[in-house]
């Protein structure tokens, strides 16, 4: 723990502290976990709009005539399917098919890709990218992580909020697409219709200097005030993504869990040109598929299953563990994601979670736990 | 944050108000604030015995679970049943939202706990402010 006391800060750190946010060490970053209260923040995103500082996320640029080949080698999804201005969920894998990290690949231009990576895995990811494609001619790796303040504007009123600050027609940006445009008077801001909450929303990438970051943060909050916008911390970000059944590195996905176990096989394109991890995944598929599976649990009896709690059959056999568990503020249920053997993974199966020495009943339910309502238009 | 002067406090952030041989127990404003939105409280039953310094239950917020430690030994004479359906009351007013009433084994046991002033000093040291 040589780095104790040297937490990294985003450009908005002073803003969070001035707003009396509770701060925590998140993967080496001094980040807000909540401002007004986790439940209020969670509900604002489900019913109105919320603003997140996600500048701790990293950004790796791959550039040059071989950049597509490099992305294809590094990431499991098929980046050749991307148009300029389109993004895709993907992951970088180790040769054994487990996760280096899950990522979002953005195609900036014919020979220019931006890979958005997790905060806690930044250094490892950048090293990995250099190791795998460092010697590939015509593919240059740049770590742009510190260049951007990344803000996530999330919720059913996200578009109305951001539309007040940009001349870009946001309704024309499809889910997982992006454009460059003017935001708060800044030119060439990347505006992506992406997020990690299960709601509609946008992520914007602005210059990471403190005055610009603070000005845009405040202007977005002011624009969203009429829709009940609140600043949101990592606490709500976690419960929102859990309700939406999305994986978090270090929990549902890690270097000991492979893509097929995690239920993310649909993003691994085994028929595209070779990529790191492909062979291992093909072998798992050829041998009848993964032996364990990520399932959604809903507590039936009174109790909250939390990260790391053991999962048992009703007969008392220990079969797995919870990777993320929490009260779900919108659903008002206690939910969890857990790995269990395939033979115990059928929907409606009743299992028991050991909560502080007591076995508490839970049921396997479909994920995502929460799906945003379809638009009535 | 305010800490009533007639309460005594533990370093685990419980308060106790003593009235004769009876004691009323809750958690401090600092504790509720640190936990955030409280969603679940697990308490003993009337008639159960609790022992000073030992765990008597737990309180859970959305993001964390925290043990509750008995400020004094005694027998539970009442449990705040309202907390089963409205645990968020603790967030609203931690000083007035009691959890247990105890028939104390020894009221003198409470003398070893922190005064309001000492507790405030303790938490200011703990948080580094």
Give the whole-angstrom CA distance, residue A274 versus residue A73. Answer: 6
In angstroms, the separation between the Cα of residue B108 and the nearest Cα of chain A is 32
In angstroms, the separation between the Cα of residue A92 and the nearest Cα of chain B is 29
Examine the pLDDT at A346 and tell me if it is beyond 80.
yes
Examine the pLDDT at A319 and tell me if it is beyond 90.
yes
In order of their start, the domains of chain A are: 13-56+147-243 (3.30.1360.120), 291-365 (2.40.30.110)
Give the whole-angstrom CA distance, residue B37 versus residue B92. Answer: 10
- Nearest CB to B40 within list A33, A34, A304: A304
Contact at CB, B37 and A38, closer than 8 angstroms: yes
| Phi, psi at B112, each rounded to 5° | -80, -5
Q: Which domain holds residue B77?
A: 7-124
Evaluate whether residue B112 is within a structural domain: yes
Give the tens place of pLDDT for each residue, A64-97.
Answer: 999 999 999 999 999 999 999 999 999 999 999 9
Tally C-beta pairs within 8 A across A and B.
35
Evaluate whether residue B129 is within a structural domain: no
Q: Is B36 on the interface with A (CB under 8 A)?
A: yes
DSSP state of A277: T
CATH code of the domain in which B16 resides: 2.40.50.100
- With beta carbons under 8 A apart, name residues in chain A contacting B60: 304, 327
Q: What is the pTM of this model?
A: 0.94
Give the pLDDT score at B54.
Answer: 97
- With beta carbons under 8 A apart, name residues in chain A contacting B63: 33, 38, 235, 238, 326
Give the tens place of pLDDT for each residue, A150-184.
Answer: 999 999 999 999 999 999 999 999 999 999 999 99
Give the tens place of pLDDT for each residue, A271-297.
Answer: 998 999 999 999 999 999 999 999 999
Round the average pLDDT of chain A to a whole number and report it: 96
Task: Please indicate whether residue A271 or residue B1 has the higher confidence score (pLDDT).
Answer: A271
Evaluate whether residue B30 is within a structural domain: yes
Evaluate whether residue B48 is within a structural domain: yes
CA gyration radius for chain B?
14
Examine the pLDDT at A103 and tell me if it is beyond 90.
yes
Domains held by chain B: number: 1
Asked if A85 and A263 touch (Cβ cutoff 8 Å), the reply is no
Asked if A188 and A180 touch (Cβ cutoff 8 Å), the reply is yes
Evaluate whether residue B13 is within a structural domain: yes
Contact at CB, A37 and B60, closer than 8 angstroms: no
- With beta carbons under 8 A apart, name residues in chain B contacting A305: none
Examine the pLDDT at B53 and tell me if it is beyond 80.
yes
β-strands A50-53, A230-232 pairing: parallel
Question: In angstroms, how far is CA B83 from the centroid of its own chain?
Answer: 13
Query: In which band, very low, low, confident or very high, does the pLDDT at A5 lie, cut at 50, 70 and 90?
Result: low
Evaluate whether residue B114 is within a structural domain: yes
Evaluate whether residue B46 is within a structural domain: yes
Evaluate whether residue B2 is within a structural domain: no
Give the whole-angstrom CA distance, residue A95 versus residue A100. Answer: 10
């Amino acid at each position: 723990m040589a780095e104790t006391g040297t937490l990294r800060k985003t450009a908005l750190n002073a803003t969070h502290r001035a707003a009396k946010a509770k701060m925590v060490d998140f993967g080496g970053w001094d980040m807000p976990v909540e401002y007004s209260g986790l439940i209020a923040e969670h509900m604002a995103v489900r019913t109105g709009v919320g603003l997140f500082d996600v500048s701790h996320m990293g950004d790796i640029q791959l550039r040059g005539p071989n950049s597509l080949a490099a992305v294809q080698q590094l990431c499991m999804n098929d980046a050749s399917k991307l148009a300029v201005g389109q993004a895709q969920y993907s992951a970088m894998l180790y040769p054994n098919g487990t996760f280096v990290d899950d990522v979002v690949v953005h195609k900036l231009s014919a020979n220019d890709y931006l890979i958005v990576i997790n905060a806690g895995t930044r250094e490892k990811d950048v090293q990995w990218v250099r190791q795998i494609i460092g010697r590939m001619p015509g593919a240059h790796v740049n770590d742009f992580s510190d260049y951007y303040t990344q803000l996530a504007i999330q919720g059913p009123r996200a578009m109305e909020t951001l539309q007040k600050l940009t001349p870009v027609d946001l309704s024309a940006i499809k889910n997982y697409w992006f454009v460059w445009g003017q935001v708060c008077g800044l030119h060439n801001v990347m505006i992506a219709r992406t997020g990690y909450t299960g709601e509609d929303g946008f992520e914007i990438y602005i210059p990471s200097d403190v005055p610009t970051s603070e000005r845009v943060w405040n202007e977005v909050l002011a624009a969203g005030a009429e829709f009940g916008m609140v600043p949101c911390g990592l606490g709500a970000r976690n419960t929102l993504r859990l309700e939406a059944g999305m994986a978090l590195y270090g929990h549902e996905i890690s270097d000991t869990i492979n893509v097929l176990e995690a239920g993310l096989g649909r993003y691994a394109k085994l028929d595209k040109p070779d990529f790191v991890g492909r062979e291992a995944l093909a072998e798992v598929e050829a041998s009848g598929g993964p032996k364990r599976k990520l399932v959604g649990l809903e507590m039936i009896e009174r109790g909250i299953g939390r990260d790391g709690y053991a999962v048992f059959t009703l007969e008392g056999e220990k079969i797995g563990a919870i990777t993320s568990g929490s009260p779900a503020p919108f659903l008002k249920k206690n939910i969890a994601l857990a790995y269990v053997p395939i033979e115990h993974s059928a929907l409606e199966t009743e299992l028991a979670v050991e909560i502080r020495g007591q076995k508490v009943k839970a049921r396997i339910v479909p994920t995502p736990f929460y799906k945003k309502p379809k638009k009535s238009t | 944050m305010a800490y009533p002067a007639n309460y005594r406090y533990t370093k685990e952030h419980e308060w106790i108000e003593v009235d004769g041989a009876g004691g009323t127990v809750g958690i401090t404003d600092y504790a509720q604030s640190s936990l955030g939105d409280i969603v679940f409280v697990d308490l003993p039953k009337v008639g159960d015995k609790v022992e000073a310094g030992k765990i008597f239950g737990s309180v859970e917020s959305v993001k964390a679970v925290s043990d509750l430690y008995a400020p004094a030994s005694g027998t539970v004479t009442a449990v705040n049943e309202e907390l089963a359906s409205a645990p968020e009351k603790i967030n609203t007013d931690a000083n007035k939202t009691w959890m247990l009433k105890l028939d104390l084994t020894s009221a003198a046991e409470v003398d070893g706990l922190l005064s309001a002033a000492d507790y405030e000093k303790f938490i200011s040291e703990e948080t580094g402010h």
